[in-house]
Amino acid sequence: MTDATTSAPGAASIPGDVSAAEPRAQSRRRFRPSGSVVVMTLYLVFLMLPIYWLINMSLKTNTEILGAFSLWPRDLTFANYVKILTDPSWYMGYVNSIIYVTLNTVISIAVALPAAYAFSRYSFMGDKHLFFWLLTNRMAPPAVFALPFFQLYSSVGLFDTHIAVALAHTLFNVPLAVWILEGFMRGVPREIDETAYLDGYSFPKFFVKIFMPLVASGVGVAAFFCFMFSWVELLLSRTLTSVDAKPIAATMTRTVSASGLDWGVLAAAGVLTIVPGALVIWFVRNYIAKGFALGRV
Amino acid sequence: MNKTVNQKAWFLVLPVLILVGFSAVIPLMTVVNYSVQDTFGNNVFFWAGLDWFRDMLESERMWNALGRQLVFSGIILAIEVPLGIFVALNMPKKGFWASFCLVLMSLPLLIPWNVVGTIWQIFGRVDIGLLGYTLAKLGISYNYTQDFIAAWATVIVMDVWHWTSLVALLAYAGLQSIPDAYYQAAKIDQASRWKVFRFIELPKMAGVLMIAILLRFMDSFMIYTEPFVVTGGGPGNATTFLSIDLVKMALGQFDLGPAAAFSLMYFLVILLISWVFYTVMTNLDKREGR
């Protein structure tokens, strides 16, 4: 492992860069800064190596992948990406995934917003039990639900539609959204609600015009996490689809052809699934712990 | 907590209730239904009582899967929690490099789970994967599709790679909440690094760490896609964890009764852990006086 680590291209440039952060670390004098930098560099290299390897493979031809072992593509090619982006049976996988993920995010946030408001502001009969019950759904193993979902959506004629997957994913995303939003909403002082009511705002008007802008970051974070958890899930989306709504994750299994496994295309498809998360992560970087901890922390 | 009592708030919760009811209660009732019935096909069912539960409780297969599952969850917790804390302690505190680390660390968390499996499947291959190739060059025999130890090692390292950042991020969030004054006081008292960790940082992190441990336990307890893609549950049954076994039983062999009984028992465990989680969360909220 360490042997591989040191030989990775790009790894050498990181320690020098990170040492630029030394003055800040010294101001607290809690660690020898160099130690921290080494630890973080090693850890980040460990995280990035497999991803680098995937990108590396996606830029090679299959002959190069199976032929000579090389740390970077000698024979740089974008053919694998071109294949995915021009072949409908490939790129439709992405389109399908994006459709059901977006549907799911919209549905989840729409129903979670009022509920989170209720949980953060009012106490009502059974509120704690309800909140707990929602949590158990976030924790429920998809494997338990795979078969019943298959039967449920088949019987109502929704099998192999985007909406079926979107609804199935609400199982864990609605609870997630409610918990995250509740965490953000309780940070908004109740006086704001009361003042707005005194000023004669009706509840819907208050909620949309005053309250929503105040919890905008919370809505963004909740949406990001709904998007993400729906995007990374495979078991349910694969079980509920066959052709028309097949997600990219399931499409990836078809790289096995008569001529063996098409490694280059598989790697390129993998890289393309990482892109959406990588693009938006910067915006939610400060909330990511809160999101994973269901709105707490 | 000074919440107003308002029973009308139920109307605000109603959409969630209907939606999650549709996607959780109905399927769960189907499972309950199957768990107490038997069939010879043709959709003719008859009452089987608690036979399936008895069968499952006596089934070696389920106990083995449960055993493997517990060993797996135990190992990854034992690695990820200390490692995550260690990483969090070494992260830059603020500025560009803090964001930089946060973003890079979050990256594995956002990768679709089957792609995580694919990445490691490729990475560990002796012919084309960096890890496998390097190990082979070093003269270590490593083949995760045939060798029991290699399969386990791969699945565990993969999970550490995938999820340690989650523990680190939560621990980091906990560390961020410690006021500078605490460290200054410790400095005046000339407290050692270990004592600072033991008496300032660890107690402050306790709440978030509890969340991290529970989340990791839960999610590792229902892990399916990643090991399935890498090892397919093999070699033999070596990495067949609970979810893999359950899907095999329910969708592969269509043994509805046993699978349903299995599901319900699985679900009870989840319910228990969720309750612990919930208690921790509410206590944490109270302590922060929110």
pLDDT for A12: 40
Q: Does B113 fall in a domain?
A: yes
CA distance B186 to A262: 58
The CA–CA distances, whole Å, from A289 to A285, A294, B169, B208, B258 equal 8, 9, 5, 10, 38
CATH number at residue B91: 1.10.3720.10
- Give the single-character DSSP code of A293: T
Substitution target from A71, A139, A254 for chain B, most B beta carbons within 10 A: A139
**3-class secondary-structure state, position B11:** helix
Q: Which residues on chain A are in Cβ contact (under 8 Å) with B145?
A: none
Confidence category of residue A1, pLDDT binned at 50, 70, 90: very low
Alpha-carbon distance A201 to nearest alpha carbon in chain B (angstroms): 18
Number of other CB atoms surrounding residue A82 within 10 Å: 11
> Which range is most confident: A61-65, A216-220, B234-238?
A216-220
Out of B27, B107, B133, name the one closest to residue A148 (CB): B27
Judge whether A46 and B161 are in contact, CB under 8 Å.
yes
Q: Does B44 fall in a domain?
A: no
Q: B117 CB contacts (<8 Å, ≥6 apart)?
A: B158, B225, B226, B227, B228, B229, B230
Number of domain units in chain B: 1
Domain ranges of chain A: 2-58, 87-292
Q: Does B15 fall in a domain?
A: no
Q: Which residues on chain A are in Cβ contact (under 8 Å) with B173?
A: 289-290, 293, 297
Substitution target from B7, B43, B97, B271 for chain A, most A beta carbons within 10 A: B97
Q: Does B19 fall in a domain?
A: no
Q: What is the pLDDT of residues B236-281, one digit of tens each?
A: 888 888 888 888 888 777 777 888 888 888 888 888 888 888 888 8
Alpha-carbon distance B205 to nearest alpha carbon in chain A (angstroms): 10
pLDDT for A262: 81
Q: What is the pLDDT of residues B5-27, one digit of tens each?
A: 888 888 888 999 999 888 888 88
Out of A20, A71, A115, name the one closest to residue B13 (CB): A115
* Prediction ipTM score: 0.85
Alpha-carbon distance B143 to nearest alpha carbon in chain A (angstroms): 15
pLDDT for A98: 92
Judge whether A149 and A202 are in contact, CB under 8 Å.
no
Q: Which residues on chain B are in Cβ contact (under 8 Å) with A273?
A: 111-112, 115
pLDDT for B73: 92
Domain holding B98, by residue range, is: 59-287
**Does position A5 have pLDDT exceeding 50, yes or no?**
no
Nearest to A291 by CA among B287, B12, B210, B211: B211
Taking residues B205-223, what's their average pLDDT?
Answer: 87
Judge whether A72 and A53 are in contact, CB under 8 Å.
no
What number does CATH give the domain A87-292? 1.10.3720.10
Flag if B27 and A149 touch (Cβ within 8 Å): yes
Q: Does B10 fall in a domain?
A: no
Alpha-carbon distance B121 to nearest alpha carbon in chain A (angstroms): 10
pLDDT for A295: 78
Judge whether A181 and A220 are in contact, CB under 8 Å.
no
Q: What is the pLDDT of residues A105-152, one digit of tens each?
A: 999 999 999 999 999 988 888 888 888 888 888 888 888 888 888 888
